[in-house]
Amino acid sequence: MSFAIESENPVVKAVIEGTAPRPARLAAARGVLPLPQLDLIEVLVAFATSDDGELAGHARETIRTQDTKTLNSLVRSESISITVLNFLASFGEMPREIQESIVANVRTPVETVVKVAAESKSSEVIDAISLNQQLLVQAPAVIDAILKNPIRSADADRRATETKREFFEKERGQQQIANELRAQGNEAAAEFIENAQFDGLGISSDDALFLAEHIVIPDSETDDSWLGLDYLEEIYEETPEQRQAIVNKILGELRSEEIDMPGERISIINHIMKMGMKDRTRLAMKGDREARNILIRDPNRIVAQAVMTNPRITEQEVEKIASMRTVSEDLLRQIAISRHWSRCYQIVHSLAKNPRTPIANVLNILSRLQLKDLNMLSKNRNISDAIRRQALRLSQMRSGR
């Protein structure tokens, strides 16, 4: 007998696998073996699906005669075995309230809910499934199952039909996409798509959903007080040709860093650069690591600076930015004067080695560098003579020369 045992109770394993004495297994099948309720129901389901006719008969009868209140409490538990939920969902003699609790349990597989929605003889159970709009949006097969079940009520039919029409049939505008994302629990992406200015940019619903995958930070965690976003589009209007030039610039930089440029990376860049500057700025503040890595290379200094305000940016990312020779001097100056980032030695060391870092900022940094790093800087021909000379002076002073 093959049965996926989830319980960690060794008695359960012995009883199901047959290493326990026959009397103990019969006692379990009759429901009189002293076991915790969750363990006992797992044993009963294992026996009910076994090839042992005697054990299967007793187990099925025990399940049928279980106290409804007790069984309902078990199937509501998030610790119950998935195999048990699947079996009870198709066990025809289960009371309506048990079926409703099964389809409401987060552990119940979607495939099982689809089967119940298609085959249940209870309109109340179908109603319970139709009320879970988040599930309907995430698993459209549930909608189809409800609409095919002749026992469905008028209310269940209306809910399923409206959800299907709203999310899957009509051409989805930004608000529909935002509603779908919100129903899936992705509030950050919903806020972004809802407020984005996509008109006239050729951004399709598929483009919007693609972008949504890279938005991880809700509005409540961002701070745009540093910038008047309402005026950006008027000041920095871009033509499609200008945006394509930005794509080419970013691709060129990334290709110089990576031997093999993945097609997915190119696709992300093309999707991002369909947006105007205002939305790219918002994405820089709300996007994931991949979006930040792309937008820090945006030649528009406001977009690049917005990346630095992203609450999820890490020290490792800032260290990499501090060493980049393609970012603006303004951005490097911003990192150098930041109280937060200037505490990290690796970041200030990278700034000191970067020939694009403003000289005044590097001179302030040199006194904080270790002797070995000062010696290296004094011999670095890629940086200015003034910085090399000052690094040499400081290294000589520290070594007593």
Predicted model pTM: 0.57
- Tell me how far apart the alpha carbons of residues 196 and 281 are, in angstroms, rounded to a whole number: 11
Q: Which of 66, 65, 46, 64 is nearest to 56 (CA)?
A: 46
Residue 123: C-alpha distances to residues 104, 128, 154, 155 (Å): 15, 9, 10, 10
Give the dihedral sign, CA 153/156/159/160: negative
In sequence order, what are the beta bridge partners of 287? 215
Q: List the chain domain ranges.
A: 1-108, 120-170, 173-313, 314-401
Over its length of 401 residues, how does the chain's per-residue pLDDT go in tens digits?
468 899 999 999 999 999 999 999 999 999 999 999 999 999 999 999 999 999 999 999 999 999 999 999 999 999 999 999 999 998 877 888 999 999 999 999 999 999 999 999 999 999 999 999 889 988 899 999 999 999 999 999 999 988 887 777 655 678 888 888 998 889 999 999 988 988 777 788 888 889 999 999 999 999 887 776 555 554 567 788 888 899 999 988 888 877 567 777 788 898 998 898 889 999 999 999 999 999 999 988 889 999 999 999 999 999 999 999 989 999 999 999 999 999 999 999 999 999 999 999 999 999 999 999 999 999 999 899 999 999 999 999 988 76
